[in-house]
Amino acid sequence: MVEEFVTAIPKKSVDFADWYVQIVRRAELADYTPIKGCMVYRPYGYGIWELIKDALDRRLKATGHQNAYFPLFIPESFLTKEAEHVQGFAPEVAWVTHGGDEELEERLAIRPTSEAIVMPMYAKWVRSYRDLPILINLWNNVVRWEKVTRLFLRTTEFLWQEGHTVHRTAEDAMEETLRIFGIYQDLVENELAIPVLVGPKSAQEKFAGAQATYALEAMMPDGRALQCGTSHYFGQNFSQAFDIKFLDSDGEQKHAWSTSWGVSTRLIGGLVMTHGDDSGLILPPRVAPIQVVVVPIFYGSEMAEVIAKAEELAKALEDAGIRTKLDARDEYTPGWKFSEWELRGVPLRLEIGPRDLQAQQVVLVRRDNRKKEKVGWDNLLARVPEILKDLQAALLTRAREFLRASIYRTKEYGEFVSIMESRRGFLLSPWCGEASCEDKIKAETTATIRCIAEQEDAVGAACIACGHPAQAWAYFAKSY
């Protein structure tokens, strides 16, 4: 049974796409539903989201942001007010046309993002420079009618947060854009252990309606990039479209400056792909709903005593703030349980059997490298947090090494194409700044600019696509 349970999952290195779907479903993170492109977030997957949410919410509140909630619906006439914005989102909008038996006079978009309903309200609330900044974040659901979907990574409906801020000056708005960008990087790297490349998008790749979009881009094991979050600087685009004006201290009416930014449950897909192995998920302890699983090992007469001690230790760990699960089910063998909790990516397993009772110890087994360690009961509450911290750091280190090894620097288009076809990864190459060159590369390789490498000096370099003088170096990749 155990054997069958495990072997039914394809190897990560052999069929990555199928491995991903199997892991997500068998670990009970998510499931398909009868509605095309919509998934259920099951408790274990939603539990990860709750931890990510808490971690980000803390950071946002500490920097002066407040949560609120805006309507699910956007009247069509509002969505069309910012020209670029509607062009970007209209093709994937779900439309409500009827309420009960009545046809609506104006159809309502289900928000694909909320700028077009948030901004009109800000226009109502902002009068004076004293009302600025407004720093509001929304935790909600959005809908984008996608043709091709994939659990967590691209679904018709998904959960996310979207921040919307308005400011008195351009500098304030840009500072906010970058502050959030920094918070996202801290979140993704230090909570999820996913290292990212960061930088601005090209004009072609930026958010519909933004003047600048900053992105975090991670590299998945199949050589494709995953966008993990974006922070947008709108300049005055939206405040002009929605007429957000304020009386400044110099007595003049001015348009405000705005930003928006978001990360979504797609991050959970990134977690699965980045850290998992052939046995299943590996969750970084900071976002693991269960950090330690306690598995008592017993045969017949020793059962009561072993379970009693397992319960005591599990309670002590829980009381010490470690998310702990006791698995005392008697219908499964210890081996079955080991496989199940490995599949579900629990960072640390605690085994306790009759001999451990004698020796007043337990056996701890790390999920990432399977290293076993005997720890005395007295030392358990000190040792477990140390191992969890080590494990968190080890996952980040391993992922960082992979990211570093996935970046190829090249000035030769032939090499560019050949790498993009074989190993994939991030190709760091000079670019002239023209959309036509992005189009050519996309047509020939399906790769796009993921972000611009701001720290690289492009003087004297030639565009990888057209040979004209480069404006910048950029990271190209195929992406999710």
Q: How many residues at the interface with a copy of itself, by CB under 8 A? A: 55
Interaction of residue 98 with a copy of itself, rule CB under 8 A:
yes
Among 120, 182, 223, 335, binds a copy of itself (CB under 8 A): 120
What is each CA distance from 441 to 134, 165, 426, 444, in whole angstroms?
A: 41, 35, 14, 5
| Rounded CA separation 277/57 (Å) | 30
Among 9, 23, 86, 110, binds a copy of itself (CB under 8 A): 110
Crossing angle of helices 43-62 and 170-190, in 10° steps, is: 140
Residue 455 three-state SS: coil
By CB under 8 A, which span of 42-50, 318-326, 361-369, 392-400 interacts with a copy of itself? 42-50
Query: Are 263 and 229 spatial neighbours (Cβ–Cβ below 8 Å)?
Result: yes
The alpha carbon torsion through 157, 160, 165, 170 (nearest 10 deg) reads -90
| Rounded CA separation 391/347 (Å) | 8
By CB under 8 A, which span of 140-148, 216-224, 253-261, 309-317 interacts with a copy of itself? 140-148
Interaction of residue 238 with a copy of itself, rule CB under 8 A:
no
Token duo for residue 279: 């046995």
Nearest Cα neighbor of 142 from 177, 107, 82, 94 is 94
Among 64, 91, 321, 467, binds a copy of itself (CB under 8 A): 91
| Rounded CA separation 209/242 (Å) | 13
By CB under 8 A, which span of 86-94, 168-176, 197-205, 337-345 interacts with a copy of itself? 86-94
Token duo for residue 437: 């060159």
| Rounded CA separation 463/449 (Å) | 13
What's the min distance (Å) between Cβ of 324 and a copy of itself? 14
Cα–chain center distance at 439: 27
| Rounded CA separation 256/246 (Å) | 7
Which residue lies nearer to a copy of itself by CB, 97 or 379? 97
Among 19, 20, 46, 341, binds a copy of itself (CB under 8 A): 46
For β-strands 157-167 and 134-143, DSSP reports them as antiparallel
Which residue lies nearer to a copy of itself by CB, 61 or 372? 61
By CB under 8 A, which span of 105-113, 189-197, 239-247, 423-431 interacts with a copy of itself? 105-113
Among 21, 90, 247, 328, binds a copy of itself (CB under 8 A): 90
Interaction of residue 4 with a copy of itself, rule CB under 8 A:
no
Among 69, 319, 371, 412, binds a copy of itself (CB under 8 A): 69
Which residue lies nearer to a copy of itself by CB, 135 or 225? 135
What's the min distance (Å) between Cβ of 300 and a copy of itself? 22
Which residue lies nearer to a copy of itself by CB, 37 or 199? 37
By CB under 8 A, which span of 8-16, 45-53, 364-372, 431-439 interacts with a copy of itself? 45-53
Other beta carbons within 10 Å of 278? 15
Among 99, 300, 414, 460, binds a copy of itself (CB under 8 A): 99
What binding mask, one character per residue, do residues 305-344 give for a copy of itself by CB under 8 A, x or -? --------------------------x-------------
| Rounded CA separation 296/140 (Å) | 40
What's the min distance (Å) between Cβ of 130 and a copy of itself? 7
Which residue lies nearer to a copy of itself by CB, 130 or 404? 130
Cα–chain center distance at 262: 10
| Rounded CA separation 26/281 (Å) | 10
Among 7, 17, 18, 92, binds a copy of itself (CB under 8 A): 92
Crossing angle of helices 380-405 and 266-275, in 10° steps, is: 90
Cα–chain center distance at 375: 35
* Binding interface with a copy of itself (CB under 8 A): 31, 33-35, 38-43, 46-47, 49-50, 66-75, 78, 90-101, 107-108, 110, 117, 120-121, 124-125, 130, 136, 140-141, 143, 145, 156-157, 159, 331
